[in-house]
């Protein structure tokens, strides 16, 4: 009989239904709810209401049933065929039906028509996709801050597409890559799950290799004392691919936090430095004393004193002249990272012994007729303001920290020395 035989359309629907269930691993309750919602949507469009329909879904058996419920009314008094059935028609189903009783009649999928069934399949596919996206979004939202390894699938100018073991697409934008990063298709890349964006209903999982948290998570994985809670990482400051500073604290007086993080001969940092394309990592001991923290953060420079302006979050640091360039670092990296680590803007000042000060010192700006302005700018970047500042520094230090050729540095020294002869 037509009422008890599953139609071809119904069989196709169950096949699609089962495929989505297997593919997306959606729980039973959600599957039942989605399928019922889809059926009710189509029924409401066809008949104006779905209130008098019962939908029974059994995903375990791969089957479902739809029953149309109508009230028996006397012949000739049917006003709404969707909700009422005449007595004579009801008695063709069961001959003992009487007026006022409810008739529950099974609906064959073929009665919906091909267009309605196609619409039903599309609605189901759309809802299942929404559920899949929601599930993916929630899964990776909970995993934000986790380091993940994935296979490089394709690289474009602005981003790299990676695929994890489950086939999920992960995006590594160019601005989230270390400047020297270069990925080939098929190789494995590590990054942190930085954020999950929900754009147009489809989640975008964004990775990062430049985030301070990426370095933090890798250090946590390498140092057992951090995993055991004996050492904590207070702050990480990074200039990706160049240099980083990490402030750590030990809760056990017997443990040197810096030594534990660095390891014997840098063994615990070696793999991290390699992963970060040679990024130099400085580890310092954390303290709540801001002045002392600034002193440590400016390592390897020796600081004489620190004056804080707490309301403005600024600090004035005083050093001997030969320490200024060390505090600033090549390209200003050291002072920039120190500022990021302590959260203060740091200005450095030279302390000169008044008895040794030479009153006839000359500003570098006075030598623009003999020295190119861009060369003077490079000298200022590493902390020099006057001729005697430059002459008092070691030649090798100037060559190392300033972006100048050796011949240029020698010529500058010759010109400045001539000023005082």
- Look up the CATH number of the domain holding residue 29: 3.30.1480
pLDDT at residue 30 is higher than 80? no
Q: What is the DSSP string of 164-194?
A: -TT--EEEEEGGGS-TT----TT-EEEEEEE
Instruction: Write the pLDDT tens digit of every residue in 222-235.
Output: 999 999 999 999 99
Any residues with CB less than 8 A from the CB of 163 and at least 6 apart, and which? 150, 151, 153, 169, 170
357 within domain boundaries? no
Residue 325: give its domain's CATH number: 3.30.300.20
Higher-confidence position of 368 and 169:
169
pLDDT at residue 159 is higher than 50? yes
- Give dist(CA 172, CA 194) in Å, integer: 10
Q: How many structural domains is the chain composed of? A: 4
Which residue shows structure tokens 């697409």? 169
For residue 107, the 8-state DSSP code is P
Higher-confidence position of 9 and 402:
402
pLDDT band at residue 404 using 50, 70 and 90 as cut-offs: confident
CB atoms within 10 A of CB 75: 11
- Give dist(CA 322, CA 414) in Å, integer: 20
Q: Which of 296, 326, 350 is the last residue of a domain?
A: 350
Asked if omega into 286 is within 30° of 0 (cis), the reply is: no
Question: What integer pLDDT is reported at residue 12 of this predicted model?
Answer: 57
pLDDT band at residue 11 using 50, 70 and 90 as cut-offs: low
Same-domain pairing of 324 and 233 = yes
pLDDT at residue 14 is higher than 60? no
40 within domain boundaries? yes
Same-domain pairing of 258 and 331 = yes
Instruction: Write the pLDDT tens digit of every residue in 73-127.
Output: 999 899 988 889 999 998 998 888 899 999 988 887 766 777 777 777 787 778 7
- Give dist(CA 43, CA 316) in Å, integer: 75
| Average pLDDT of the segment spanning 20-29 | 60
140 within domain boundaries? no
pLDDT band at residue 215 using 50, 70 and 90 as cut-offs: very high
Same-domain pairing of 255 and 280 = yes
95 within domain boundaries? yes
pLDDT at residue 260 is higher than 90? yes
Question: What integer pLDDT is reported at residue 421 of this predicted model?
Answer: 65
Q: Which of 177, 208, 239 is the last residue of a domain?
A: 208
Question: What integer pLDDT is reported at residue 1 of this predicted model?
Answer: 33
Same-domain pairing of 29 and 52 = yes
Instruction: Write the pLDDT tens digit of every residue in 287-301.
Output: 999 999 999 999 999
Question: What integer pLDDT is reported at residue 361 of this predicted model?
Answer: 78
pLDDT at residue 244 is higher than 50? yes
pLDDT band at residue 276 using 50, 70 and 90 as cut-offs: very high
Same-domain pairing of 75 and 177 = no
Give per-residue burial for 86-124: e unless 16+ CB within 10 Å, then b. bbebbeeeeeebeeeeebeeebbbeebeeebbebbbebb
- Any idea which of 35-49, 54-68, 172-186, 348-362 has the lowest mean pLDDT? 348-362
pLDDT at residue 23 is higher than 60? no
- Give dist(CA 301, CA 334) in Å, integer: 9
Cα angle at 133 between 131 and 137, to 5 degrees?
115
SS3 48: coil
Question: Closest Cα to residue 247, out of 177, 309, 295?
Answer: 295
| Average pLDDT of the segment spanning 1-10 | 44
- Give dist(CA 187, CA 185) in Å, integer: 6
SS3 32: helix
180 within domain boundaries? yes
Domain, as residue range, for 99: 8-135
Question: What integer pLDDT is reported at residue 360 of this predicted model?
Answer: 65
Question: What integer pLDDT is reported at residue 2 of this predicted model?
Answer: 36
pLDDT band at residue 15 using 50, 70 and 90 as cut-offs: low
115 within domain boundaries? yes
356 within domain boundaries? no
SS3 383: coil
Question: What integer pLDDT is reported at residue 62 of this predicted model?
Answer: 61
Same-domain pairing of 13 and 121 = yes
pLDDT band at residue 24 using 50, 70 and 90 as cut-offs: low
Same-domain pairing of 103 and 15 = yes
Same-domain pairing of 286 and 334 = yes
Question: What integer pLDDT is reported at residue 4 of this predicted model?
Answer: 37
- Any idea which of 7-11, 55-59, 143-147, 251-255 has the lowest mean pLDDT? 7-11
Same-domain pairing of 166 and 223 = no
Same-domain pairing of 314 and 331 = yes
Structural contact between residues 192 and 209, judged by C-beta atoms closer than 8 angstroms: yes
Question: What integer pLDDT is reported at residue 248 of this predicted model?
Answer: 97
pLDDT at residue 358 is higher than 70? no
> Does the model's pTM come out above 0.95?
no
Same-domain pairing of 237 and 119 = no
Question: What integer pLDDT is reported at residue 130 of this predicted model?
Answer: 84
Question: What integer pLDDT is reported at residue 9 of this predicted model?
Answer: 53
pLDDT band at residue 261 using 50, 70 and 90 as cut-offs: very high
47 within domain boundaries? yes
Q: What is the mean pLDDT of the chain?
A: 86
Q: Which of 328, 350, 372 is the last residue of a domain?
A: 350
Residue 194: give its domain's CATH number: 2.40.50.140
Same-domain pairing of 180 and 93 = no
| Average pLDDT of the segment spanning 374-403 | 85
């Amino acid at each position: 009989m037509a009422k008890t035989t599953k139609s071809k359309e119904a069989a196709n629907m169950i096949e699609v239904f089962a495929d989505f269930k297997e593919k997306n691993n959606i729980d039973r309750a959600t599957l039942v709810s989605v399928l019922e919602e889809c059926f009710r949507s189509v029924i409401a469009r066809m008949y104006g209401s779905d209130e008098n329909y019962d939908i029974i879904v059994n995903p375990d058996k791969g089957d479902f049933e739809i029953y149309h419920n109508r009230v028996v009314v006397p012949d000739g008094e049917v006003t709404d065929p969707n909700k009422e059935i005449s007595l004579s028609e009801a008695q063709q189903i069961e001959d003992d039906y009487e007026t006022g009783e409810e008739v529950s009649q099974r609906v064959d999928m073929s009665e919906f028509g091909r267009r309605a069934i196609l619409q039903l399949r599309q609605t189901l596919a759309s809802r299942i996709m929404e559920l899949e996206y929601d599930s993916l979004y929630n899964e990776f939202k909970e995993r934000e801050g986790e380091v993940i390894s994935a296979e490089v699938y394709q690289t474009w100018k602005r981003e790299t597409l990676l695929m994890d073991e489950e086939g999920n697409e992960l995006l590594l934008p160019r601005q989230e890559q270390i400047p020297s990063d270069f990925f080939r298709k098929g190789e494995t890349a590590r990054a942190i799950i930085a954020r999950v964006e929900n754009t147009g209903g489809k989640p975008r999982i964004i990775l990062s290799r430049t985030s301070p948290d990426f370095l933090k998570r890798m250090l946590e994985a390498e140092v057992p004392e951090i995993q055991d809670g004996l050492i904590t990482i207070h702050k990480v400051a990074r200039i990706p691919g160049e240099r980083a500073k990490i402030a750590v604290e030990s809760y056990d007086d017997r443990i040197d936090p810096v030594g534990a993080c660095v390891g014997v001969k840098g063994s615990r940092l070696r793999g991290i430095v390699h992963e970060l394309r040679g990024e130099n990592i400085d580890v310092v001991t954390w303290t709540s004393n801001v002045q002392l923290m600034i002193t440590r953060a400016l390592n390897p420079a020796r600081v004489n004193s620190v004056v804080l302006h707490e309301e403005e979050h600024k600090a004035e640091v005083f050093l001997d002249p030969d320490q200024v360039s060390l505090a600033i670092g090549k390209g200003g990296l050291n002072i920039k990272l120190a500022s990021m680590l302590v959260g203060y803007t740091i200005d450095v000042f030279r302390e000169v012994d008044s008895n040794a000060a030479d009153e006839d010192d000359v500003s570098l700006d006075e030598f623009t007729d003999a020295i190119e302005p861009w060369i003077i700018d490079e000298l200022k970047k590493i902390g020099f303001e006057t001729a005697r500042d430059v002459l008092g520094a070691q030649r090798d230090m100037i060559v190392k920290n300033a972006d100048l050729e050796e011949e240029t540095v020698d010529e500058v020294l010759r010109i400045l020395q001539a000023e005082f002869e």
